[in-house]
Structure 1
């Protein structure tokens, strides 16, 4: 089944109800679904159809949602791309995917044009960022038919409204295992790989990801759309899950804590999914910035580990319970979640129903669970209880695009299941809660001891003068590696780097404390909030 059948059902039931609300302008389910059909027909007019790749190179705009579902309606494959990417990244993503069309902003066309001859792109569709879907509809009616036809007939670039056909196109038949979306891994440690996600992967996870929300997503829910739609977290958990269940999606194209809090308050938004860095920004809004977020009935954090101090600060300021979840691009993404009334701070939660999860050592032997987590510092040897988190389930990707060696390394067949190696190190407890200690590749080995950066980062966040922090391992002739901390102090903080080092030394085993501390203005992060530690290890360390 084509996963957009879920949206078709919602459109038939909801009709005039708002599917999208952008900049105060509502787009009904009926209008949105019609425009998605017109986009699908526009693709067909340009010879783009089943299995063809369409790159959506946009921020969170209503046209992203239309192009996404219009491409799937046509039977194509969506290749979502970060609008911050420039020609170097585009050269790889467009060339590797074989995308035939790109939907983007006028200001980004230059980057596409710079690499276009090296790719299969023959159509570029541009979106006016100031137009909402409802505004565009009325403007397109006044445009002469001859003008629209002339833009559609050639292979030349088209404006979004001219690209839309006069008629809609029915939903193309697709098998469950056919590819729907091909996002690319973030590429923080190497060349990004295309992830092959099927219609069943995405539809199943969009449905399952709503289980931690009390009563699921309701038709009267209004969902804050701050997570970028090019990323699987925003795509599945905010956009698709909301539209499948008939709620209203409120996209924001750029992250601004004040703007987000204002929108939640003014529009009475009920659901928030965001990354820890966003919750940290909200918690650290100026004291005189008073916002009422009482309309929020569920808030979830994902994308990276949620520091306990960030959770406490956000909950203390806004009185909204914050639940942590876990997932990866390769798992569509959600595999674990905490539930309201059944959460364990510091844990990524329990596996969603239908998903199997294990903690295994290098020989793929299960590590025994602890009695109850989280474990306290010094109470247990982490090396005795931790291993790699592996998962299996209907949301796990089909594989990496044209990467047989990567696929061989990513999966292990055992016990009748196909286990995906997440690359995350963690442990589990007897109640079924899982805990991620750190990324396998981020673990620091100093003088024969394993050090997990997240443990130190959690401590740093508790310091009253610290706004943000990240820890990496750097080469050391005597210890192999040593610990280095990069700290963003709060404005006008009266603290020194030596004080931070001593603070850690007093609270951690000696081999864990950062022997080097550097104050920085900000940490290099991806758009989804993950710290790009390779930048810290190379550029900042010289």
Structure 2
């Protein structure tokens, strides 16, 4: 057995085969059933000519098929490629070409877009459709699985096999983050449990763990949901999905499946979930942990969720697709009050401009970095890889892009993402802080802050605001609210009001779109 996610899943399936591995809607498969199902799909892909190290794109909503497609690719040492199901034709053309995908597993609902881009993606030569697809040459998923053996007769795998997670798209086209299997496992490992010394330790953890029920709420096309799934399987837990995000369906599922821990991504999911929970009628007594990862909860939202779930731990995890899960928010930390995190791993530092570690308590501001178990780099982009993963002091570092400093007690204060910082008259403004303050106003449902050109100051702070239901925010009142919590130079000078905020399916802000909206305002 290797530290390879396919090997580990197979070992867990052998150990706890009768436990439920995955649930979505009215479908549920045990570990043994999911393993056999994935074996059949793996045999189909191999018979279709998918060779080791080639790439299999997955353009699906959440479901059993998504989980099986990831496992099937890994079983034959192919590389699963996550596809954002919101992508339009130009974005799909880019992703299929950039990823060099040779096969695609997709929902038939995306027929029109896929048919339009196929002529421009010549390497994409095999299609497997979930549902009735009209795309020429597509094989029905059900037929593909039914026609194959469920035997586990695959060649040996390696702990160094590649896994790719495409991320980004809010400030530029997405990039494929490349990981080695063992490094990825260790980077995203649940810090509640000791890290495994050998692969068999993972199987023993699953065997000895109780029947936990975990729920990644984000779509599986998001790296956080994929990693939450793998870590849950390493614990022998049941993983529960909803096909798409709907707050009421999430709470109904939590009640029905007795979910113990759920993972969301920031305010974009927490706010509608809190709204729905406040309407009442849901049994949340099974829920032990409410975890946000990939996007930090603002203080007002966190306090509201905590009041609605008084017996549940509310946790903020800090990390990225390139770094894994690295730290946990200090109690009382929030974007509007100052973000402070306690590192989970020893390889975290803040590096200054010379790539030297910042001395704790010095007040020197630098860039948050991680060494050790980090991604290999970006697929098809050696220049970005070189910039983001430099070597210094005999170590290879990941520069996360987050601007931070180290406090005297070793905690890390994070000010914001450097690429989104607004330079207005020589002062730096981090959008996350201003967004958090705006979302604390009762008339504001959501807010994204960006910089737009200004003749006098170079850039001005601009806010795109989605009003709360039934509210009509007044710029003067928002201005007064912001000035009560922020220095004057951080206060938005331009407001644009929109009926609905544009975010990724995982809740990430679309800053390109916000900038265009603000400029038009």
Query: Are residues 1:386 and 2:362 paired?
Result: no
Find the partner of 1:156 among 118, 132, 137: 137
Distance 1:219 1:348, change over 3 A: farther
Work out the CA distance in 2 between the residues paired with 1:203 and 1:288.
Answer: 39
Alpha-carbon displacement from aligned partner over 1:389-445 (angstroms, at most 9, x marks no partner): 111122x11111121211111122123321011111122323333232211011111
Aligned counterpart, 1:364: 355
Q: 1:129-156, CA deviations, whole angstroms, 9 ceiling, x for partnerless residues?
A: 9xxxxxxxxxxxxxxxxxxxxxxxxx93
Structure 2 residue aligned with 1:449: 427
Offset at residue 211 of structure 1 (A): 4.2
Of stretches 456-465 and 41-50 in structure 1, the one that deviates more from structure 2 is 456-465
What is the Cα-based RMSD across aligned positions, in Å?
Answer: 2.3
Is 1:122 matched up with 2:125? yes
1:47 to 46, 49, 53: 49
Q: Is the 8 A contact 2:255 2:282 kept in 1?
A: yes
Deviations 1:341-371 (A, max 9, x none): x745334632333x51111232223334349
CA gap of 1:11–1:184, structure 2 versus 1, over 3 A, is same
Task: State which of 174, 182, 194 in structure 1 corresponds to 2:157.
Answer: 174
Partners of 1:482 and 1:167 in 2: CA distance: 60
What do the CA deviations read for 1:102-152 (whole angstroms, capped 9, x no partner)? 0001121332222223321121101139xxxxxxxxxxxxxxxxxxxxxxx
1:4 and 2:6 are equivalent in the alignment: yes
Question: CA distance change for structure 1 residues 210 and 24 in 2, over 3 Å: closer, same or farther?
Answer: farther
Q: Which residue pairs with 2:15 in the alignment?
A: 13
Aligned with residue 102 of structure 2, among 97, 100, 103: 100
The answer as to whether partners of 1:361 and 1:388 remain within 8 angstroms in 2 is yes
Distance 1:268 1:73 in 2: 31
1:6-62 Cα distance to aligned partner (Å, 9 max, x none): 111211111221111121332111111011111111112112121111111111110
Q: Does the 8 Å contact 1:122/1:156 carry over to 2?
A: no
How far has the Cα of 1:306 moved from its partner? Answer: 1.9
CA distance in 1, matches of 2:364, 2:482: 24
Question: How many Å apart are 1:485 and its aligned residue?
Answer: 1.8
Deviations 1:304-330 (A, max 9, x none): 222111111110112222111122122
Equivalent residue for 1:76, pick from 60, 75, 78: 78
Residue 113, structure 1, aligned to residue 119, structure 2: no
Which residue in 2 is equivalent to 1:23? 25
1:435 paired with 2:413, answer yes
Residues 21 and 286 (structure 1), Cα distance of their counterparts in 2 relative to 1, 3 Å cut: closer
CA distance in 1, matches of 2:403, 2:416: 5
- Once the two structures are TM-superposed, the CA of residue 71 in structure 1 deviates from its matched residue by 0.8
SS in 1 for 2:28: strand
Q: Render the CA deviation track for 1:209-242: whole Å, top value 9, x for unaligned.
A: 55499xx9844111123211111100002x1111
Unaligned 5+ segments in structure 2 are: 196-204
The equivalent residue for 2:298 is 307
Give me the TM-score of the superposition, normalised by structure 1: 0.86
- SS across alignment from 1:175: coil
Aligned-residue offset at 1:462: 2.0
User: 2 CA distance for matches of 1:348 and 1:227?
Assistant: 24
Structure 1 residue 203, shift from structure 2 partner: 2.4
Q: Secondary structure at the match of 2:185?
A: helix
- CA 539–513 in structure 1, closer or farther in 2 if over 3 Å, else same: closer
Shift of residue 187, structure 1, vs aligned partner: 1.9
Q: Is the 8 A contact 1:336 1:348 kept in 2?
A: no
1:243/1:287 Cα in 2 relative to 1: closer, same or farther (>3 Å)? closer
In 1, distance between residues paired with 2:428 and 2:286? 44
Please tell me whether residue 282 in structure 1 is matched to residue 257 in structure 2: no
Between the aligned partners of 1:167 and 1:273, the Cα distance in structure 2 is: 32
* Distance in structure 1 (CA, Å) of the matches to 2:424 and 2:271: 30
CA distance in 2 between partners of 1:208 and 1:393 (Å): 17
SS in 1 for 2:167: coil
Q: 1:465: how far off?
A: 2.2
The Cα of 1:386 is off from its aligned counterpart by 2.8
- Give the superposition deviation at 1:478: 1.1
Mapped to 1, the partners of 2:69 and 2:114 lie a distance apart of 18
The one of 272, 279, 282 aligned to 2:262: 272
CA distance in 1, matches of 2:258, 2:412: 33
4+ residue runs over 4 A deviation: 209-213
CA contact (8 A) 1:53 1:101 kept: yes
* Match for residue 335 of structure 1 among 326, 331, 347: 326
Candidates 341, 347, 352, aligned match of 2:344: 352
C-alpha separation in 2, matches of 1:20 and 1:453 = 38
